[in-house]
Structure 1
């Protein structure tokens, strides 16, 4: 496991970047017809959501 120490500004910037990517993943998942790719995107969303949640 890696431990990453961030100052307040770095943490907020990462939180915002993750939130933006999560939002775009929701749209991408909704518009994806290929099941395998949709499953891949959903897995990525779960991982990023977990990271985002731990930053709060």
Structure 2
């Protein structure tokens, strides 16, 4: 692959951030990219900040 990609999405817990990150990472992997992911989240059920980071 020609270039590295760093991608991040963030928002409140419960907004689908984790699902969005997983779907995008899976699409990159199916396209033949090596994918590394990282999740940051607060220890709350709803309302805390959540981030999903992808590097490929």
Q: Normalising by structure 2, what TM-score? A: 0.39
Bigger helix share: 1
The structure, 1 or 2, with the larger RCO (C-alpha pairs under 8 Å, 6+ apart) is: 2
Bigger strand share: 2
Larger Rg: 1
Q: Normalising by structure 1, what TM-score? A: 0.39
